[in-house]
Amino acid sequence: MGGDDLDRMFNLVREVGRVELKFTVAEASYEAVRGALGAGSERIRNVYYLDTPDLTLRHHGVLARIRGGQRPNDSVVKLRPIDPGAVPGAMRRCADFTVEVDLTPDSFVCSGALKRRLGRHMVERAVDGEHGLRTLFSQQQLKLLSGRLPGSVAVDKLEPLGPVEVHRTRPGHDGPGRGLELQEWTFPDGSRLLELSTRCSAEQLLATAAHAKVFLDRHEIAQSGPCPTKADATLAYFTRR
């Protein structure tokens, strides 16, 4: 990023106070990153994004994600990009709403996400048509969706785009990769996307970024060049003709 972009990024980070650093791993470094992180706790999830065939939600800056699998299910409505100064106070005070800056080596964007925890198998049952997709979202989430969507788009008419099998691994606190999380997204054709990430406060940004860089350099883990986000990669995969 150039100097002007860096200034804007730091100003945004100071305003928001919360950052997620993300690094897409080059395919040649897949085994290196797994070996470097070592053993850790692992979660396996099946992820879907909801949208229309022409990605109406994404074009309006909205992501609707649902996750099933081993652990209790959840749903998330994410607004990306978002102006943090325009978020209503009532929403900012909501315990399940978070605003953060997503930061990669070559870009940054502010997003806001509202999460709902769901019971086991709720996502699978909705995807299978046993009940409507809107039952996976709270009234607050539905209100957030309706504020960004054209009136012709109904939640129950959205298409579940997925599943992608996601493995999330967090190494032990004493390991070299402490504080990092590895996500491995495997698409139905076997293609994969690996991402390393870590979260920190605005005050910890420089130290956290330096620690991550030392880890990547020491283990010769390469970045996969400019890469779409996990969400955009999933949407593109399931809507390609």
Q: What pLDDT score was predicted for residue 227? A: 74
Q: pLDDT tens across 58-99, in order?
A: 999 999 999 998 778 999 999 999 999 988 888 888 889 999
Encoding tokens for residue 199? Answer: 């979260």
User: Residue 205: how many CA atoms within 13 Å on its side-chain side?
Assistant: 21
Q: Is CATH 3.55.10.10 correct for 3-239?
A: no
* Local mean pLDDT, 10-residue blocks, the chain (241 residues): 85 96 93 79 89 94 93 93 89 90 94 96 95 95 85 88 93 64 95 95 95 91 83 95 58
Tell me the percentage of the chain whose pLDDT exceeds 90: 70
Q: pLDDT tens across 124-152, in order?
A: 999 999 999 999 999 999 988 888 778 77
